[in-house]
Chain A
Amino acid sequence: MNKSHEHIVIIGNGISGITTAREVRKKSSQPITVISAESDYFFSRTALMYVYMGHMKFEHIQPYEQFFWQKNNIGLVKALVTKVDTSVKEVQLDNGEPIPYDKLVIASGSKPNTFGWPGQQLKGVMGMYSKQDLEYLEACSPGCKHAVIVGGGLIGIEMAEMLHSRKIGVTFLVREAGFWGSVLPSAESEMINRHIREHHINLKVNTKLVEILADSNNNARAVVTDKGETIECQVVALTAGVTPNIAFLQGSGIELGKGVKVNPFLETNIRDVFAIGDCAEQHEAIDLRKQVEAVWYTGKIMGETLAQTLCGNRTAYDPGPWFNSAKFFDIEYQTYGWVWPTPRENEVQFYWEHPGGKKAIRIAYNKNTRTFLGINCFGIRMRHQFFDKVLREQLTVDTVLQNFEKANFDPELFTTYENDIRAAFQKNHSKLMTANGY
């Protein structure tokens, strides 16, 4: 156990900040203070939707009981950090005495993107990121008959599911030709389009927001699209991605770009100041990743990594093979490795879709070496450990398909499709059975 007395102050009680606090506490008894203006206790941001839908109460999305924090001696302060003064090593709050730090961790997360749309400041217009956003949506829901969602990504489809669960009509504006077209290849995107419509969401692809119209009380009353259509609504959800929440750091001397600039050790340009999670921006992108990664899993890995450094074991952020997951209404999505919307140089993609139209697999591999590059899975669960090994050891696509049964993570008794998938692969991608054993 590390006996250091250095005070670690963490700005933000999301997954990154809390992971840091927990991991430091496992190794060290030094004082830790976590500051958040958003909530008293850590909660799972990705689960906010389930509170609105009535699957859970807010208390259920808090992974630790309240006694946990005191028992583990992790100090919690509910305040908004207004300024960081790195010269005297303290953070200033909106509601109390400044808090001095020895080590400062910035884990302040994101805020929803807005692009200067006319009317974006009206009442009834919102993003969906924070607990306050959810409370605002809750406040706007009574009397809301119709809502318009702008932005066809992960938060947009979650909002569609949320609003639909309360029997509020939804029009979903998507700029691209299909849902999440910037990430998903067109076949998968088309599959999700169909599923969105199956849930009675009015999906409008290739459609942009032009402006939001107000009524006499400054409430949003309709949106106008670039197709010249005016859609009556009481709620407008702006879900076109997120951007680092770092305005309070302006003038602090900490180097800022899109986010807080960090090196691979998650260190900023100022000694003893670190940044992790959504708000951190790598100087250089790591493998094929983005410089700012606003993903639950990467936030968690950064928190674990930084805790090592804070406890004396300076460790670089090494997230390993990319993975992610989501759920689009009833269709689960998992991805391992890289599958781009269109194949890159020397890449081939193999796509299989179940005749029912709700399960699909896309595998990307190198056409010269046949190295497996990545997989998109829809409606079929896959084993993380299997693909982590495949990607780390750079095994071939043929090996993967030969051992495909081992990859399956669906519940017992489920129908399996390995043979169908292999047969489809063999038709056009041959060479399957010549591979070496796994």
Chain B
Amino acid sequence: MNDGDVILQIRALYKTYELGKENLVRALRGASLEVARGEMLAIMGPSGSGKSTVMHIMGCLDTPDQGEVWLEGRRVDKLKRHELNRVRSRQIGFIFQGFNLIPTFTAAENVALACEYAGMPRRKAKAAAARALTRVDLGDRLSHHPSELSGGQQQRVAIARALVNEPAIILGDEPTGDLDTINSREIMQMMRDINKSTGTTFVLVTHNPEVAAACDRTVCMRDGAVLADEECRPD
């Protein structure tokens, strides 16, 4: 794999959280990983293995204590707050386990908010939101509030929100964790379709072997490090 094909790379990341004075959690201990452009990658591993921390750092929500993060050929781990905000709004999309929609906003407003943060004027953002929601088959639910939508539909709104700015990479933190089997499959299928049709890179943190199986590649994490592919075993 040459460098041009790598969209995201983490090198020897270390991260320690201080929960209390004497209670240090060493979440990452030298995690390294390369993600190829256009691939759909699953990260598996037991709770506390550092999956979420890796995802937060890859998504520029958090910074490592040590190590490097390269996104589309640019080092992003040392960026300032406002630069990280910009990277998040334009190059990265998030899909969370709990959907994380703003409850007082309609589906369209939730999606449009991402466009506005990426610098789009309000009217354009509205149109883009409508297009993205149509893409996830929610074109008829634009003015529904999250509470009026099923879990699967809410997660589809979140997908629309993640892809509306055409980011380089979409990061999913247990995207099917709160969904039943049928909805899980539907959501997984939708992400697969988007990955195929747009070439958007996906990195999904998951416990679900079915999700992992649908991905191009699976890596495992244990004790704050990414294991070599062959060491990976489903939990």
A and B pair up: no
Q: Name B residues whose Cβ lies closer than 8 Å to a Cβ of A.
A: none
Q: Name A residues whose Cβ lies closer than 8 Å to a Cβ of B.
A: none
